Structure 1
Amino acid sequence: MLAARLHQYDPEMRGPDFLVLEQVPDPAIQEPDDVLVRIDGAGVCRTDLHIIEGLWRERSGVVLPYILGHENAGYVEAVGSAVRSVRPGDPVIVHPLITDGLCPACRRGDDMHCEHSQFPGISRDGGFAEYLLTKERSVVRLPDNLQPRAVAPHADAGLTAYHAAKRAARRLAPGQTAVIIGFGGLGHIAFQVLRLLSPVRIIVVDRSDVALGLARELGAEHTVKAGDDDPVEHVRALTDGHGAEVVLDFVGEGEAIAQGLAMTRRAGAYFVIGYGGTVQIPAIELIAEEKAIIGNLVGTYSELLELITLAAEGKIQLTVSYYPLEQVNLALRDLLAGRVKGRAVLVPGKSG
C-alpha cells in the first residue's frame, strides 16, 4: 500500500518534504479482535507538525520510519475471528487510542487514560496510508448519512474539542462569557458544541482572517484579530473589565498562553488544549484570584459516540479541505502557514 512515513525529525520545519511517500506491506489481521480499515479519509493535525518537529520523540517510543495519521475513518476491510460489532463494508470512524478495556481507567469509562494504550499515528503506524490496523474496541460504526472522509477529523479534532467544550460548559451559567483562542480545526468545532451546551456569549480570537471569517460564517458575534491589537484589552472591554469565566486555548504556544491567562477572570478557568509552549504563572496569582488551569486530552469512546450523534443530526458542521494522499506535504505546509480553512483531510486513491 501507499503510505506517508516520517524518516527523520525536522525541528526547524524547513521541509520542503516532511514525509516520504512509499510502498509498504499491507497490514493484516493478526489477533481475534483486530479490525482492518480501508482509509477513506485521514485528518491532518497540528500534532502531526509537532511530531515532525520531534516534540513527541521521547513520549512516543517509536522507531523511525513510521506512518503518521491519528484522525482516521473509512470502511471495514477485514475483521478478526472474535469481532462481532462490525463487518466488512461497514463505514467506521476510529477512536484515536487502542485500549485494553481491563485497567481501572477503562473500567471507569476514562479510556483515554488507559494504562496500556497505543496511539496509532503517534506510538505506532497510523492512517496516512491506504489501510489501518486497529481493534474492535476503537471503531464506531457510522450512521449511513455520514461519509467517513467527511467526519474523519472528529476522531481527534472533533473529539478533543467536544471533550473540552463539554467540561467548560459545566462551569458556565447564562450571561457569562467564554473565549476561544484559535479558530482552526478544533476551535470551530468547540464553538458549535459550546453553543449547543451553554447559553453564553462567545468571543473568538485568532490572527488569521480566514479563521475569523469562518467564525462569522458560523454565527460568532464577537471576533478579535490577534496581532493587530491587544486581544486582552478587547476581551476586558467586552466583559466590563473582568475577563471571561472560561478561556479555551486551542493554540497553546507563543503569546496565546500569557494572553489566555490574562483574559481569565477571578475564579475563572483557563483550558489548555493546544500545546507547544510553556504555561508560567506566579503561584500567588493562582491563590489570590483562584484561577484554575485545566489540561485536556482527546476524549472518551463514549464522547465520540455522542459527537457522531450530533454530527448525524446536522448539529455540528465540520469544515473540511481535501487533499490526495500524494499531496500530504502540501497539506502539512498549508497547515503550518495557516492556509487551511477548518481541517485538512487526506484521501487515498483507492478510497475514492
Structure 2
Amino acid sequence: MHAYAVLSNTAHAITDIELPTNEPTGTEVRLRVVRSGICHTDTHLREGYYDLGSRGRLNLVDRGMTYPMVMGHEVVGVVEAVGPDALGVQIGQTRLVFPWIGCGSCDACRAGHENLCPAPQNLGVARHGGYAEHISVPHPRYLLDIDGLDESWAATLACSGLTAYSAARKALPDTPTVPVVVIGAGGVGLTAIATLAALGHRAICAVDLQERNLDLARELGASTVIRADQDNLAAAITGALGGPVAAVIDFVNTGKTASVAFDILQKGGRMVQVGLFGGELIVPTALLTLKIITIQGSFVGSLGELGELVTLAKTGALPHIPIIEGTLSASEVDAALDRLANGGVPGRIVLGAAASMS
C-alpha cells in the first residue's frame, strides 16, 4: 500500500513509500482510509521533539519512536478485512477510529483510560496511522459508528474534538454564567468553544492573535473575544470579564500563555493546559497554595469520552468548525503540516483518499 511517512529523525519531509498491506489476524480490523485529519501534534512528531524550555528537548527517538513513521490519527475508514475473532463489525461499514490505544493490561487501561497508559501504542505514533491507503486497528472496540455525520468533520472528532471535549469537561464550572477563558482559537480551541456552548455554558471568552479566529469563535458560542497581542493580556482579560475567572483552557501552552492563565484565576480556579508549543511555567508557590489553584494537563481523551462526543455530535448540538479539504498525498500532508506550523489555519485540515473525494 501507499503510505506517506517521515523517514528518520533527520529527514523531515513526508515521503511516499510502499508498505505491506497487512492481513488481519485475531481481533484485528483493516480499514481503507477515506479521511485523515491533519493535527498540530504531527508538526512536533515530524520535527522529532518537544520543547521543554530550560530542560532542553524531549527527543522522540529516546522515547522509542521508530522509522519510517506513518502519522495520522484522525481517521475515518471503510472496513475492508477482519480477523477471525473481530466480532461486531462488518466489511463495508464506515467507522471513526479511536487512535489512543494502550497496552491493555495496566491499571489505566483496565479502568478505561488508555490515553493514560505508560506504554501507549497510539496509531499514527507508535503504530502506523492514517496517512496511508489502509490502517490496521487491533480490536473492533476502537471503531465508532458515525452514521449521519459528515465524514471530514467526523474525522476531527478523534483528536481535535476529543481533546477539546475532555479539556472542556475538566474545566466546566457548575454555574453556566461563570467565565471560562479559552486561550488559542485555532482548530482545537474553536472545537472547545463549540463544545462548551453545546454543554450549556454561556460565558466563554476566546483569546487569540487572529481576528478571523475570534470572529469564528463568536459564531461558535464565545460571548467575549480578546486579542492576545496586548502588553498586559492578563489585565485585559480580567478587565473585560469583571475580575478573575474560574477556569482557563490553554490550547497554546507556552510559558507566556501559561503565566497569563495562572494570573487570571480566582481562588479555587483551575487551569487546564493542552497545547504543546513548549516552554515552562514558573509560579509563586505561596500563591499556588493561598489561591488553591489546580494546574492540570490534558492530553486527548478516553474511548468512553469519544463515544460521548460522537453521541453529542449526532444530536446536532455541536456546531461544525470550518474544514479545509484536500487530497491525501505526500505533498499535501507536507504542505498542510507547514501551514499548521506557521499558524493561522482557520479551523481544521482534512485530506481524503482520491476516490472518496470525487
Same fold (TM over 0.5): yes
Match in the other structure for 1:306: 308
Letter in 2 for 1:81: P
Structure 1 runs, 4 residues or longer, greater than 6 Å off = none
Shift of residue 20, structure 1, vs aligned partner? 2.7
> SS at 1:258's partner residue?
helix
1:73 aligns with 2:76: yes
Match in the other structure for 1:337: 342
Shift of residue 41, structure 1, vs aligned partner? 1.2
Match in the other structure for 1:7: 7
Query: CA 1:103 to 1:49, structure 2 compared with 1: closer, same or farther past 3 Å?
Result: same
Matches within 5 A, 1:1-352: 1-9=1-9, 18-55=12-49, 57-58=60-61, 60-169=63-172, 171-240=173-242, 242-275=243-276, 276-316=278-318, 317-326=320-329, 327-352=332-357
Letter in 1 for 2:42: D
Shift of residue 305, structure 1, vs aligned partner? 0.8
> SS at 2:136's partner residue?
strand
1: CA distance between counterparts of 2:13 and 2:327?
A: 14
TM-score normalised over the length of structure 1? 0.91
2: CA distance between counterparts of 1:323 and 1:164?
A: 28
1: CA distance between counterparts of 2:262 and 2:151?
A: 37
Shift of residue 199, structure 1, vs aligned partner? 3.2
2: CA distance between counterparts of 1:46 and 1:80?
A: 33
Shift of residue 30, structure 1, vs aligned partner? 4.1
Unaligned runs of 5+ in 1: 11-16
Letter in 2 for 1:204: A
Which segment drifts farther, 56-65 or 114-123? Answer: 56-65
Residues 249 and 271, structure 2, Cα contact 8 Å, conserved in 1: yes
Residues 206 and 225, structure 2, Cα contact 8 Å, conserved in 1: yes
> SS at 2:19's partner residue?
coil
Match in the other structure for 1:13: none
Letter in 2 for 1:249: D
1: CA distance between counterparts of 2:344 and 2:273?
A: 23
Query: CA 1:19 to 1:88, structure 2 compared with 1: closer, same or farther past 3 Å?
Result: farther
Unaligned runs of 5+ in 2: 50-58
Query: CA 1:45 to 1:60, structure 2 compared with 1: closer, same or farther past 3 Å?
Result: farther
- Percent identity between the aligned chains? 32
Shift of residue 18, structure 1, vs aligned partner? 4.1
2: CA distance between counterparts of 1:263 and 1:168?
A: 14
Letter in 2 for 1:274: G
Query: CA 1:123 to 1:272, structure 2 compared with 1: closer, same or farther past 3 Å?
Result: same
TM-score normalised over the length of structure 2? 0.89
> SS at 1:66's partner residue?
coil
1:140-175 CA-to-partner distances (Å, cap 9, x unmatched) read 332321243331111111111101111212x44243
> SS at 2:187's partner residue?
coil
Aligned pairs, how many? 344
Query: CA 1:223 to 1:344, structure 2 compared with 1: closer, same or farther past 3 Å?
Result: same
Match in the other structure for 1:14: none
